Amino acid sequence: MLMEKINRRLALLLAGAAMSAVMTAGMPAYADTPADTLVQAWAIDDMISLDPAEAFELSTGEITGNTYDMLVRLDANDTTKIVGGIAESWTVSDDGLTYTFKLKPDLKFASGNPITAEDVAWSFERAVKLNKSPAFIIQQFGLTGDNAAEKAKAADPSTFVFTVDKAYAPSFVLNCLTATVGAVVDSKTVKEHVAAVTPSDEYKFDNDFGNGWMKTNFAGSGPYKTREWRANEVVVLERNDNYYGTKGNLARVIYRHVKESATQRLMLEKGDVDVARNLQPGDIDAVSKNADLVITATPKSTVYFFSLNQKNENLAKPEVREAFKYLVDYDALGDTLLKNIGAMRQNFLPKGILGALDDKPYKLDIAKAKELLAKAGLPDGFSVTMDVRSTQPVTGVAESLQQNAAQVGIKIEIIPGDFKQVLTKFRARTHEMYIGQWGVDYWDPNSNAETFGINPNNADDSMNKTLAWRNAWDVPADIQDETKAALLERDATKRAEMYADLQKKVREAGPFVFLWQETEVAGLRKNIQNFKLGPTFDTNFVGPVTK
């Protein structure tokens, strides 16, 4: 009888976002969520794939961070440190080119298959050859489809050897390997689902390396395993009892797709969810005053920005790019829509990363913007579209810009959509304007400097699809050269100075209007313990949580 009740309760929880409005608009509250289950309400409309070689979205980063393991991990409590994942130890050769990792003994995937250095090597080769969005993090070390098997290889079942093309600072290399594209997959399981394909723009080789199957399936070794993902509805994780480390305290974690802040708050108050993840300022205030609930918050490494596609001849004018930077009411946004959930920021590096600047040279100045448009030969303005994720605060920020732009004759048509829809369009650089976010892939300033300041090939078929490329910005040579030089600078003080200079140059010349750095906020039922938000989304660990 008890199991029947639990199963009925889980069935209700798994009903997903489609039931959210009904549940909060008149139905009585159910009993508290099951004692062994953490239920979170979160907007997960950005999820496109579960394959760590392809997934490159923030919410997928959290799922991957809890279900897969890498060689090394970022220490969420001290971002200056790298800790072992499946690697027990590592050494760097005297010439700085060879990294040798010894794996922890007797590790298993969730399937029960042993974790070996061959799995690590194939995971690297697979990511490089698939060449999906996050592949560049590994490819930047000189790995290609032709040499990946030699550059990332198993010396023996417990020893993985990684050879890079230049003597980078070891901290940079190790930080890159914490990125989720470095997740180790169960090669035996995935190879059972490899499909033959005809080489194409999507797949350069004659097989898909199991990508078709991995888009919706799981082959990892993290503290949890993915049981189910229904797009725009729900993700269900279950504890992995084969995990080598401290086992997760809860049997399962359920992410329910709920976009609206007010709906999330009501579900939290009624006990239908344990955690609400997208609360806006007014709902944060309400939760903070409720004795049954608590608020937790942490600064994230995620920056938000407007971007202007340089394929549009009007947006490609330098004066127009500059004018947009004077059409944002930074102070008003910080005091209203972004209160407690974001800190206004006008640079591409988030606070906490080496070299991050805090200056804010721009402010709302309608007259200045109008003067710049006239200088660009557009005194009467022009019309343009802007793709926007249909959720707050993004929609509100877009509408604020729309109103200010109208005062100088720029007519912005806002095109709302689910995050994966607008993101796919942005990645194909078929947008005109876009408001987006970028979270660091690894804890090093190059993660952002490269994507905002490097575009070696501005052709549509370029292999390197940075944010500069997505906006068709043919980056000036001096910016690209300095970005490459900063990557190899070993003196931390000099390196920080170089990144400070790069932030100024990209801010002034680039097609980006930097807006704010995210403060992630979550509302919790008071019985939830050890729920801690990390500095990145893949460090939002659910294993320690108890009820």
Give the pLDDT of the chain (547 residues) as one tens digit per residue: 333 443 444 454 444 433 443 333 333 344 589 999 999 999 999 999 999 999 999 999 999 999 999 999 999 999 989 999 999 999 999 999 999 999 999 999 999 999 999 999 999 999 999 999 899 999 999 999 999 999 999 999 999 999 999 999 899 999 999 999 999 999 999 999 999 988 887 788 989 999 999 999 999 999 999 999 999 999 999 999 999 999 999 999 999 999 999 999 999 999 999 999 999 999 999 999 999 999 999 999 999 999 999 999 999 999 999 999 999 999 999 999 999 999 999 999 999 999 999 999 999 999 999 999 999 999 999 999 999 999 999 999 999 999 999 999 999 999 999 999 999 999 999 999 999 999 999 999 999 999 999 999 999 988 788 999 999 999 999 999 999 999 989 889 999 999 999 999 999 999 999 999 999 999 999 999 999 999 999 999 999 999 9
How far lies 317's CA from each of 304, 309, 326, 363, 401, in Å? 22, 11, 15, 20, 19
Phi, psi at 396, each rounded to 5° = -65, -40
Which amino acid belongs to residue 319? E
Pick from 218, 77, 57: which is nearest to 544 by CA? 77
Cβ neighbours for 27, distance < 8 A, ≥ 6 positions apart = none
pLDDT of residue 26: 36
pTM listed for this prediction: 0.88
How far lies 63's CA from each of 1, 71, 234, 389, 400, in Å? 32, 17, 12, 21, 33
**19 CB-side CA count, 13 A:** 14
pLDDT of residue 199: 85
pLDDT of residue 17: 37
pLDDT of residue 16: 42
207 pairs with which residues across the strands? 196
Cα(393)–Cα(414) distance, integer angstroms? 14
How far lies 260's CA from each of 231, 265, 290, 523, in Å? 17, 9, 19, 14
Pick from 250, 266, 246, 269: which is nearest to 258 by CA? 266
Q: What is the DSSP letter of 75?
A: -
User: What are the tokens at 367?
Assistant: 């007259």
pLDDT of residue 28: 38
pLDDT of residue 169: 87
The answer to whether 139 and 146 have CB atoms below 8 angstroms apart is: no
CA angle 365, 368, 371 (to 5 degrees): 150
User: What are the tokens at 223?
Assistant: 């503290």
Burial profile 260-271: b = 16 or more Cβ within 10 angstroms, e = fewer: bbebbbbbbbeb
Cα(314)–Cα(43) distance, integer angstroms? 34
Residue ranges of domains in the chain, CATH in brackets: 2-46+229-292+526-539 (3.40.190.10), 69-221 (3.90.76.10), 299-519 (3.10.105.10)
User: What are the tokens at 33?
Assistant: 């969520």
